[in-house]
């Protein structure tokens, strides 16, 4: 079971707890998309490096940015921005940290979107990436 548990890096003493209990670490530093861009990127990357060292190189999962990102948005421009940011997060997770798994929020808000709309947009998103082929 521990091989499926991750502690959020925003949690107090997360690196120490990950190391002590042998659980993975969820990198939450990039939940805010601006941390993937300069001038914040280098500072964020350095902080992550320090915490990974303190955690003893745990298993990692990457939390993609989600603030104001709606891949199932009605506005196609917003969809494109969300796609660009998720793609940027994927390349950061895989290319910089070697992480294979990523937490992504759909942005679905039941009082705003019809369930069918969300289903159709999710399907389009997966088709775009070739996941369903």
* Residues 80, 20: Cα–Cα separation, whole Å: 41
Which residues constitute the domain of residue 116?
A: 2-129
Please check the confidence at residue 73 and state whether its pLDDT lies above 60.
yes
Question: pTM of the prediction?
Answer: 0.80
User: What per-residue confidence (pLDDT) applies to 24?
Assistant: 92
Model confidence over 5-32: pLDDT tens digits? 899 998 889 999 999 999 999 999 999 9
The pair phi, psi for residue 88, each rounded to 5°, is -60, -45
User: What per-residue confidence (pLDDT) applies to 89?
Assistant: 96
Structural domain count of the chain: 1
* Residues 64, 30: Cα–Cα separation, whole Å: 6
Residue 27 makes CB contacts below 8 A (sequence gap 6+) with 9, 48, 60, 61, 62, 63, 93, 97, 99
Please check the confidence at residue 62 and state whether its pLDDT lies above 50.
yes
CATH number at residue 20: 3.20.20.150
């Amino acid at each position: 079971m521990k091989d499926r548990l991750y502690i959020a890096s925003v949690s107090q003493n997360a690196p120490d707890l990950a190391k002590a209990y042998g659980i993975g670490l969820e990198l939450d530093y990039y939940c805010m998309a601006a941390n993937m861009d300069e001038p914040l990127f280098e500072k964020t990357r350095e902080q992550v490096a320090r915490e990974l060292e303190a955690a003893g190189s745990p298993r990692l999962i990457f939390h993609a940015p989600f603030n104001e990102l709606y891949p199932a948005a009605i506005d196609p421009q917003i969809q494109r921005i969300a796609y660009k940011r998720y793609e940027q997060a994927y390349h950061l997770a895989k290319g910089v940290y070697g992480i294979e798994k990523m937490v992504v929020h759909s942005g679905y808000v039941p009082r705003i979107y019809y369930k069918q709309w969300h289903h159709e947009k999710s399907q389009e998103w997966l088709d775009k990436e070739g996941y369903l082929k």
